[in-house]
C-alpha cells in the first residue's frame, strides 16, 4: 500500500480522499484500513501543498537548539499553523521529526533539500525565495 500512496502523492501532491476506496478495492482491504494508513503517516497529505514545502524539524536535538521558538516565530510572521499554506500558495509548512541533521540543528528540508543551523534570518530568506519562485 505504501508505494501506491507515495505514487498518488507524487502525482497529485496529496492522497485524495477519492482514492481511498479505489486503493482499498485494489488491495482487497477495507476503506478504514487504507484511511488508517493514510492518516497514521504525517507525510501523506489530504490536500495539495503550496509550490514549495518547508519541513521544520521538531525533534529533540533541534528543540534543544531553539527549533520551537524558530517555528513559532515563522508561523506568527506568516500567519500559519502546521500544515498551512501561505495565501499566495508559495509555501507549505510541515513538521518533521529528526532529519538526521542533529549535529547541525535546527534543521529543515526545503523541497527535500536539507538546510541546517537555521535562524530567523535564514527562514525569512527561504520564504522570500519561495515567493519569487
Ligand atoms: S533532531 Fe532535528 S535533525 Fe535530528
What is the percent of the chain with per-residue pLDDT over 70, rounded to a whole number? 100
Q: Is the peptide bond before 106 cis (omega within 30 degrees of 0)?
A: yes
Please count the residues of the chain: 133
The domain ranges of the chain are 2-40, 52-132
Tens of pLDDT, residues 53-88? 999 999 999 999 999 999 999 999 999 999 999 999
Q: What is the distance in A from the centroid of ligand 1 to the CA of 62?
A: 5
Q: What is the distance in A from the centroid of ligand 1 to the CA of 71?
A: 14
CATH superfamily of 52-132: Glutaredoxin (3.40.30.10)
Tracing cell 477519492 back to the chain, one arrives at: 18
66: buried, middle or exposed (CB in 10 Å: 19+, 13-18, 0-12)? middle
Looking at the CA of residue 99, tell me the nearest atom of ligand 1: 3
Write down the pTM of the prediction: 0.86
Q: What is the distance in A from the centroid of ligand 1 to the CA of 68?
A: 12
Amino acid at each position: 500500500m505504501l508505494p501506491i500512496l507515495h505514487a498518488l502523492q507524487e502525482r497529485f501532491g496529496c492522497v485524495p480522499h477519492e482514492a481511498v476506496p479505489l486503493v482499498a478495492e485494489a488491495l482487497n482491504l477495507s476503506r478504514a484500513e487504507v484511511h488508517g494508513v493514510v492518516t497514521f503517516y504525517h507525510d501523506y497529505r489530504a490536500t495539495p501543498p503550496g509550490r514549495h514545502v518547508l519541513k521544520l524539524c521538531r525533534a529533540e536535538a533541534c528543540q534543544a537548539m531553539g527549533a520551537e521558538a524558530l517555528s513559532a516565530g515563522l508561523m506568527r510572521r506568516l500567519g500559519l499553523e502546521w500544515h498551512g499554506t501561505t495565501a499566495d500558495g508559495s509555501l507549505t509548512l510541515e513538521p518533521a521529526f529528526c532529519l538526521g541533521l542533529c549535529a547541525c540543528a535546527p534543521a529543515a528540508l526545503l523541497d527535500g533539500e536539507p538546510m541546517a543551523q537555521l535562524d530567523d534570518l535564514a527562514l525569512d530568506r527561504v520564504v522570500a525565495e519561495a515567493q519569487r519562485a
